[in-house]
Amino acid sequence: MNLTISQLLQCAEQFGTPLYVYNADYISYQYNILQHAFASHPTRFFYACKALTNISILKYVYQLGASLDCVSINEVKLGLYAGYDPKRILFTPNCVEFSEIQEAKELGVLINIDSISVLELFGNTYGDTYPVCIRINPHIEAGGNYKISTGHIDSKFGISIHQIRHIERIVKTTGLHVHGLHMHTGSEIKDIDVFLQALDVLFDMANRFTALDFLDLGSGFKVPYKAGDTGTDIHKLGEKVALAFKTFEQEYGRPLEAWFEPGKFLVSNAGYLLVNTNIIKQTTATVFAGINSGFNHLIRPMFYDAYHEILNVSHPDGPERIYTVVGNICETDTFAWDRVIPEIKEGDILCFKNAGAYGFEMSSNFNSRLKPAEVLVQNGVPKLIRKRQTFEDLLHNQVE
């Protein structure tokens, strides 16, 4: 299911480096896992496109049958451009201008509201003419890192569960039609009981609304990054979620769909970042492998302390040595300290694994460096899906 060393080398030779490469077959494999795991209850999957918004990826995920989760109006427009029906796009903004939400309404997409003020303004403006979802903050801290936990008490996301009386007053006063409830507690959740705990909160909230169509649990499925890592037990979660919904629906009196928003789960391990080794530099304490990239291309190790396995695809069977892998920008951009890697020589191609999510998507032009190209490998055939930037791109939109 993973791309082979020879395939990665072929991509590097054909398209140059730095280069993002995505494996379409792996994305399909992950989506099929979700479908099978939740087959016993009506469930919809909305690809969290903030992980990777390349149009070719959006179109491919659409062909698999997924809907789209968007967090900005431009992500919504990218989804529409890629061919998604508006009713297959869920817009969950945070701290945006109301005009952005109004634009989403005019485009006909599903809207998820996560603040009291916006909920009241939307209700006063549109009444019951346009159904909305409400994002709840369950005050559940989850995920492997505080930076990626979004359901804790100090999070900016969602409306606190303790403000339910205020929500009810707004709904009653404005006649607002609430057709769904949503929460997202964080990323990299290994313990499925976190999802079930959040679902219990949603069930309790759902009893206060009579015409819901769905409950959205967000996502946060943990994917393994290295040997020994464990991911979320998707099949066990599917079984327990289906049982919980079946039990609650008997009390609620109408069927409810379960919604999830997988992003990293679909694309993270489908992605690779290929780079060239510019220099091997030895100091009194460290051997540095300096590459033609930096946190301008992959910021996750510096921003989240994220782990990415690093392969020497030029010499995968060489004797193992210890390297500190660093970038080429004028900033501290250490990808890995004291990492054991087959011996690296200047000119070798290195590969960062699990680079499909929040890799290119969080890239920048820091130090006036160019963004890399992107390639999608489908049925073994690599296809360019984004050209490498040029110097002219740096000048574009600048006014002298």
Give catalytic residues, as residue numbers: 330
Rounded to 5 degrees, φ, ψ at 334 are: -85, 120
Name the region of 157 (left: φ>0; alpha: ψ -120 to 50; beta: rest).
beta
Q: Is 208 exposed, middle or buried (0-12, 13-18, 19+ CB in 10 A)?
A: middle
Residue 130 host element (H or E)? none
- Could you tell me the two tokens for 195? 């999802």
In angstroms, the CA 383 to CA 347 distance is: 24
51 Cβ neighbours under 8 A, 6+ residues apart: 263, 264, 266, 267, 268, 356, 357, 358, 361
- Could you tell me the two tokens for 331? 């900033």
In angstroms, the CA 66 to CA 58 distance is: 9
Is residue 214 within 8 A of residue 179, CB to CB? The reply is yes
In angstroms, the CA 212 to CA 187 distance is: 26
Pairing of strands 320-326, 334-342: antiparallel
127 Cβ neighbours under 8 A, 6+ residues apart: 174, 175, 176
In angstroms, the CA 369 to CA 367 distance is: 5
Q: How many CB atoms lie within 10 A of CB 107?
A: 16
* Distances in whole angstroms, Cα of residue 247 to Cα of each of 240, 252, 342: 11, 9, 54
DSSP readout, 246-293? HHHHHHHSS--EEEE--SHHHHTTTEEEEEEEEEEEE-SS-EEEEES-
The DSSP 8-state label assigned to residue 399 in this structure reads -
Q: How many CB atoms lie within 10 A of CB 30?
A: 22
Rounded to 5 degrees, φ, ψ at 39 are: -65, -20
